[in-house]
Chain A
Amino acid sequence: MEAEIKEKIVSMEKPHMEAPPDWQPVIMGILCNWCSYAGSDLTGTSRIQYPPNIRIIRVPCSSRVDPWFIIKSLQTIADGVLISGCHPGDCHYISGNYYARRRFLVTKKLLNFVGFHENRVQFSWVSAAEGAKFAKVVTKVTEDIRKLGPLHLYKKENS
């Protein structure tokens, strides 16, 4: 038990903040048009269930994702961010996801450095044929965020 509590303290940004009882995580999903968005479509048409906590935004390519989108999502409504693109080598624009990969790593590490848990921002490669994988990824991310609780860091002060 004690070890569990200790682990919780180490892994959470603000351990003293409790989640309200009816709280549901909100996940911002930014998906590339050519693979992951089609993949998520396949998940739906194949009638595979995944948590409804994800809010999906479609972008032309994973390299369209400015790190600023991630910061912005975390500062407004999201408790976590999932970004998904084509597998390496499959990019519709030849090399977009290779550039994106570099940017994501730095963004993730920097956010982790200033205090966001590393599971708050996650990335995946999901192709148009991987409906089942998309459902698995969303389930995993939702469960990760649910474990971490609501995000309280640097939220926009609008009330």
Chain B
Amino acid sequence: MKLTTYSTDQAGLQAFYEAIIRAHDTYGPVEKFGKFDFKKVNSLSECDPESPIPRTMSVKPLFFPKSAKVMKYTATSAGTELSDTAEDPLAGKRVILGVKHCDARGLQVLDAVYKWDYIDTDYEKRRENTILISPRCDQAATHCFCTSLDYDLETLDAVDVAVINGADRKIYLQARTEKGETFLKENATGLTSANGSAEAEMKKQYETFAASFRLKMNYQEINERMQGQFDSPTFEEVPSSCVSCNTCAFVCPTCHCFKISDEKIRDKGVRYKSYDSCNNVYFTLMAGGHNPRPVKYRRWRQRAMHKFVYYKERFGVNLCIGCGKCTTSCPVNISIFEVVTKVASSMQE
């Protein structure tokens, strides 16, 4: 597919964003308590699409909210009556500004599990109705390692419209999907078609970006080695300082475990689907009291192996996308990069 590319400058991009915010339901990164989080915006001044990485939360909550209503129920003398919840607030047509490429890739990875066995219709609808506009980073942050993983950031088709800085303060807007192509053509007022040098400039931008990474791993090798590391003693050593909170899973763009719980007063209640985390000690607790992962290192092993081995085996994509959000949010600064590389290299000893 030949991708449409437009070129513009900083002022043109601002005008493009403003036009989108006027015409569509728009979400963008909004600063709250000194960190960025995706919220609904009514003007460009409220959000900062170019906000720096790392952010607290990815776009995940807009597709898989921290707590979503599943159904309502009322207990009557004749039995329990079930009813649907009100309309899904996230299901309408919308545009999300300022999504980082890693976040968008996270959604692509989540699609694999959400469109597998049981198809989650809510999630699917939210995905279909959303346009992701993603500025490509110019500089890697401390804990980023997205270029080392199993996807090509340069031509990533998880984003609908990529915003890439070119030479001479030029900015290129490139459609990456058909949805993005239609959207971009509809909203292209004030943008000019890019000339021949665009490809080369975008490639150059990618190369300087890729060169700014400090963390690099050989993904193939790590994946292969991790497969035999289930009993590795390194799992007991490295994450021993973990405090077993759920932060890493809640901020992760690809963690998708949830729990079902009820909120009830008297005879009326709502069933909710909320985030859960495999680092939580109750995650595997069964009725009857048996817990297969009662200790920290087993839970950590599950987390690391799921991120780097199991998901790849089952769905063909790696679950970790290298955004580094878990590491920056961790209360005790445990780095998943460090754990994984240490575990993988411990085989040689």
Contact = CB atoms under 8 A, between A and B. Distances in A.
The answer on A and B forming one complex is: yes
A156 interface: yes
B266 to A, nearest CB: 8
Nearest to A76: B265
A159 to B, nearest CB: 6
A76 B267 CA distance: 12
Interface in B248-287: 263-266, 268-270
B170 interface: no
Contacts of A77: 265-266
A45 interface: no
Nearest to A155: B265
Contacts of B270: 157-159
A60 B124 CA distance: 54
- Chain B, interface size category, equals under 10
A75 B39 CA distance: 27
Nearest to B263: A158
B275 to A, nearest CB: 16
B298 interface: no
Contacts of B225: none
Nearest to A75: B265
B71 to A, nearest CB: 12
Main secondary structure of the interface of B (DSSP, over half): strand
Contacts of A76: 265
A21 to B, nearest CB: 22
A88 to B, nearest CB: 36
Nearest to A77: B265
Interface string A123-159: 0000000000000000000000000000000001111
B72 interface: yes
Interface in A71-103: 76-77
B270 to A, nearest CB: 5
Interface string A48-89: 000000000000000000000000000011000000000000
B69 to A, nearest CB: 8
A39 B272 CA distance: 43
Nearest to B264: A158
B237 to A, nearest CB: 39
A157 B266 CA distance: 13
B264 to A, nearest CB: 6
Interface in B26-75: 72
A159 B85 CA distance: 8
A87 to B, nearest CB: 35
Contacts of A159: 72, 268, 270
Contacts of B264: 158
A10 B264 CA distance: 32
B67 to A, nearest CB: 9
B40 to A, nearest CB: 20
Nearest to A157: B263
A156 B261 CA distance: 13
Contacts of B266: 77
Contacts of B265: 76-77, 156, 158
Nearest to B72: A159
Nearest to B267: A158
A9 B290 CA distance: 54
Contacts of A157: 263, 270
A76 to B, nearest CB: 5
Contacts of B72: 159
Contacts of A156: 263, 265
Nearest to B262: A158
A77 B268 CA distance: 12
Nearest to B266: A77
A139 B309 CA distance: 67
Given A157-B263, A159-B268, 4 more contacts: A158-B263, A158-B264, A159-B72, A159-B270
Interface of A: 76-77, 156-159
16 contacts: A76-B265, A77-B265, A77-B266, A156-B263, A156-B265, A157-B263, A157-B270, A158-B263, A158-B264, A158-B265, A158-B268, A158-B269, A158-B270, A159-B72, A159-B268, A159-B270
Closest 6 CB pairs of A and B: A158-B265, A158-B263, A76-B265, A158-B269, A158-B270, A158-B268
Interface of B: 72, 263-266, 268-270
